């Protein structure tokens, strides 16, 4: 029962905070006001070595928190896969949030989302970045600082604007 209460609370927060509406609001934080992205090292969803955000310093990063049970996450995944393939200068990282790894892996099959995927089964990392719901996309500059965050699903048009924001640093 003690484990069920936090899970139910997390599901309620996700339902209210973002797993139903889309609406891109990208407002870059001025460069001098940006905060360092939290340390993030999580297991590789596909079974490889742990993946660390710090390993991608020097390139802009699009960090996407998602789950197989989140409708907007399901809808945005093909667009993220296309974006990752078409934008080699941007690192795309996925974080399967509070999802069973086997469900996450099954969901990704055939979606083309070949970019690195981490797994956060306990759901501890999203809040460190300031995210409240799924999906959440965090834009990180090459110096490892948070440019902006998008709460809600993204589509191809949104990702075109996100790419410009990331490239502008």
Q: Taking the CB of residue 8, how many other CB atoms lie within 10 A of it?
A: 10
Question: What CA–CA distance (Å, rounded) separates 67 from 94?
Answer: 10
- Is 3.40.30.10 the CATH number for 4-168? yes
Greater pLDDT, 67 or 17: 67
**pLDDT value of position 25:** 56
User: Tokens 């609370």 appear where?
Assistant: 9
Q: Three-class SS of residue 59? A: coil
Could you tell me the CA-to-CA distances from 99 to 70, 79, 82 in Å, in that order?
10, 21, 23
pLDDT digits (tens, 9 = 90+) for 17-55: 444 344 465 889 999 999 999 999 999 999 999 999 999
Band (pLDDT 50/70/90 cuts) for residue 74 is very high
Kindly state the percentage of the chain with pLDDT values over 70: 85
């Amino acid at each position: 029962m003690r484990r069920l209460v936090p899970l139910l609370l997390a599901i309620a927060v996700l339902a209210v905070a973002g797993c139903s509406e889309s609406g891109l609001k990208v407002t870059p934080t001025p460069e001098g006001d940006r905060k360092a992205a939290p340390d993030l090292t999580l297991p590789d969803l596909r079974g490889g070595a742990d993946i660390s955000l710090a390993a991608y310093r020097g390139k802009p990063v699009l960090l996407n928190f998602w789950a197989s049970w989140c409708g907007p996450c399901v809808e945005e995944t093909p667009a993220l896969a296309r974006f990752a393939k078409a934008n080699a200068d941007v690192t795309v990282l996925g974080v399967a949030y509070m999802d069973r790894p086997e469900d996450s892996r099954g969901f990704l099959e055939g979606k083309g989302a070949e970019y690195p995927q981490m797994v956060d089964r306990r759901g501890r990392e999203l809040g460190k970045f300031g995210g409240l719901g799924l999906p959440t996309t965090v834009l990180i500059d090459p110096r490892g600082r948070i440019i902006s965050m998008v709460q809600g699903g993204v589509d191809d048009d949104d990702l075109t604007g996100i790419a410009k924001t990331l490239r502008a640093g």
